[in-house]
Structure 1
């Protein structure tokens, strides 16, 4: 099967590429989504997974929890090995549960992990929209 390159045919005009196409065609950009939102696809997947995490996953297990885990079998540890992604997971879990009402120490730890306040706002705006959509579906 043959394909024709209509964009190069005489008498045709090529429109200017959109901003997304320019980012996708730029060899210096590895992930166009990361340029638009400040987060890579991996980071957005961490945020999506954090929706189901409970607040208890943010605490280190105590002696009783460790003993019960030994007796009845351990639960999988949701903490991530990468400290930067773990900081993102922590702030995402808090945002899924509390929205913008997160203690300043947690936001500071998020920024110290290498993220910016603009990324924090993007994250919480996205999560707030997800929370509103989820709550709207639950009421119907």
Structure 2
């Protein structure tokens, strides 16, 4: 049977690296550093998101000549575009989120980001609308 030779114990004890003392950080300081805390929408932007609940995806398309003629002939109403381009882009994204959940076209998301919104704000809109939809389903509202 083979064995390994036993070496003598070292004369000096091995050096031990000191461990840094844990630092306590208040929860509020950590929460302030997270990106979700930085994502905010103004009151007017939240009202645009709420108004978008009534619009359909069809309201986002430009009507053709025949559709425009039929609308004027029969007095059909189309939702107006918002005058502010930033708010219109927000409305368009919100309509897609209300109607199609996470299936927002890449072109709409690109326009959303080009208007100065952030992905954190997009996720905030998604979370808010998702909560609203799930609470309305629990109450027996629309699905």
Give the TM-score, by structure 2 length: 0.67
Provide the C-alpha distance between the structure 2 equivalents of 1:118 and 1:54, rounded to a whole number of angstroms: 24
- Residue 56 of structure 2 corresponds to 54
In the alignment, is residue 78 of structure 1 matched against residue 80 of structure 2? yes
Q: How does 1:42-121 map to 2 (within 5 A)?
A: 42-121=44-123
Q: Bigger relative contact order, structure 1 or 2, given CA contacts below 8 A and separation 6+?
A: 2
Show CA shifts across 1:55-90 (max 9, x none). 111101111211112212251433111100000000
Q: How does 1:10-49 map to 2 (within 5 A)?
A: 37-49=39-51
Q: How many residues align?
A: 106
Larger Cα Rg: Structure 1 or Structure 2?
Answer: 2
Provide the C-alpha distance between the structure 1 equivalents of 2:61 and 2:129, rounded to a whole number of angstroms: 22
Structure showing the higher helix proportion among its residues = 1
Tell me by how many angstroms 1:36 deviates: 6.2
Tell me by how many angstroms 1:138 deviates: 2.0
Return 5+ residue gaps in structure 1 as ranges. Answer: 1-18, 20-34
Q: Please say if residues 98 and 129 of structure 2, whose CA atoms lie closer than 8 Å, have aligned partners that are also in contact.
A: yes
How big is the alpha-carbon RMSD for the aligned residues of Structure 1 and Structure 2? 1.9
Q: Which contiguous aligned blocks of 4+ residues in structure 1 show a shift greater than 6 angstroms?
A: none
Secondary structure at the residue paired with 2:140? helix
Return 5+ residue gaps in structure 2 as ranges. Answer: 1-27, 29-36
Provide the C-alpha distance between the structure 2 equivalents of 1:57 and 1:47, rounded to a whole number of angstroms: 15
